[in-house]
Structure 1
Amino acid sequence: MDTKSLLIDTATTLFQQKGYKSVGLTEILKACNVTKGALYHHFPNGKEELLITCLHGLNEVITTDIKAIFSRHLSTKDAILSMIDKLILNFEKNDTIIGYTFSSIVSEMATMSEPVRIACSALYENIQNLYHEKLLTEGYSNESASAIALLLTASIEGAIMLCITQNSATPLKTIATLLPSILEVNK
């Protein structure tokens, strides 16, 4: 793996596990076994630029994953339940949700850095658009698809944060039982 990719992968994991503010450059450099010069060669603006790059990477990974799940399921309900099941398994295996957790970064940095807020907003918007498009293909009106996509995004992201803070998969399991009825009612 090249140095830039190593920095991005390592920093993404550390930021997800500990939050942006709790991870120092020294910790990232030590975990990667690279020099400060190597980091600044790839990220001249430092840690915040690295974070934004990590968020763009998360956007790609999450988008690819959601699209793959959606392509395997005709109905939005089945796709969403499959996605939630994957998150639950991830949580139960790792005691956290690897690859999907960026909400802590949003709460920590969005008011402090406009570029980070924009990167986080783009990620949420992308997820919401994927849900919206899936709902449209199933015959939902544009208005209903938009509202439900927002509800799905907020519910799943909120449940992820609750799972982490409560150290329990119960919030995801709860929304997995409730969301199908919401999808049925609003079709």
Structure 2
Amino acid sequence: MDTKSLIIEVATKLFQEKGYIGVGLSEILKACNISKGSLYHHFPDGKEELLIACLDSLNEVITQDIEDIFNQFSTTNEAIEAMIDKLILNFETEGTITGYTFSSIVSEMASLSEPVRNACSLLYSKMQQIYSKKLVADGFSTEVANSLALTMVATVEGGMMLCLTQKSSHPLKIISQVIPNILKDYTK
């Protein structure tokens, strides 16, 4: 792995675990075993530029994973259930959902930095697009699909945060049962 990829991988994990404000550059340097000059060579604008690179990396990984899951199943209900089951399994085996959650970064930085807000917004938009596309394929109108997709993103994101704060997978298990009922309540 090249140095830039290493920095992004390590910093992403640290930002997810401790938040943007909770992680200093010295901690990233130590964890990567690199010099300050090496970090600034790859990220001349410093920590915020690194955060945006981390968010871009998360964006790629998360959207690819969601697309892969959604492409495996014929309906939105099956796909969302499989995705939530994967999140629950990750939480129950690892005690966290670090590969998916970036909400703590959003809450810390989105109001302070327009580039960070844009990077976060892009990821949420891509998630919504994946859900909406599947809902349209299920027969929902574009307008209804977009509304439901927004609801699904907010619900799953909120569920992940509740799992982390409650140290329990129970919120995602409930959401997995409720989303099919929400979809059923809408006419196609």
Report the TM-score range of the alignment, normalised by the length of the smaller protein: over 0.9
Structure 2: gaps (5+ residues) = none
1:150 alignment partner in structure 2: 150
**Structure-2 separation of matches of 1:162 and 1:112:** 24
**Structure-2 separation of matches of 1:18 and 1:79:** 31
**Structure-1 separation of matches of 2:108 and 2:134:** 31
CA deviation profile, 1:152-171 (whole Å, cap 9, x unmatched): 00000000001101111111
TM-score by length of 2: 0.98
2:174 alignment partner in structure 1: 174
**Structure-2 separation of matches of 1:63 and 1:178:** 23
**Structure-1 separation of matches of 2:155 and 2:23:** 28
Shift of 1:123: 0.8
1:60 alignment partner in structure 2: 60
**Structure-2 separation of matches of 1:66 and 1:171:** 20
**Structure-2 separation of matches of 1:48 and 1:114:** 11
Moved more, 42-51 or 130-139: 130-139
Shift of 1:98: 2.1
SS in 2 for 1:98: coil
Following TM superposition, where does structure 1 have runs of at least 4 consecutive aligned residues deviating by more than 4 angstroms?
none
Shift of 1:185: 1.9
1:10 alignment partner in structure 2: 10
**Structure-2 separation of matches of 1:39 and 1:138:** 47
Q: Which amino acid aligns with 2:62?
A: I
Matched, 1:183 2:178: no
**Structure-2 separation of matches of 1:139 and 1:51:** 39
How many percent identity over aligned positions? 62
**Structure-1 separation of matches of 2:177 and 2:139:** 22
**Structure-2 separation of matches of 1:8 and 1:42:** 10
Structure 1: gaps (5+ residues) = none
1:130 alignment partner in structure 2: 130
**Structure-2 separation of matches of 1:98 and 1:108:** 16
**Structure-1 separation of matches of 2:163 and 2:5:** 29
**Structure-2 separation of matches of 1:93 and 1:45:** 37
CA deviation profile, 1:126-169 (whole Å, cap 9, x unmatched): 11111111111111101110110000000000000011011111
2:111 alignment partner in structure 1: 111
SS in 1 for 2:97: coil
Q: What value does the CA root-mean-square deviation take over the aligned residues?
A: 0.7
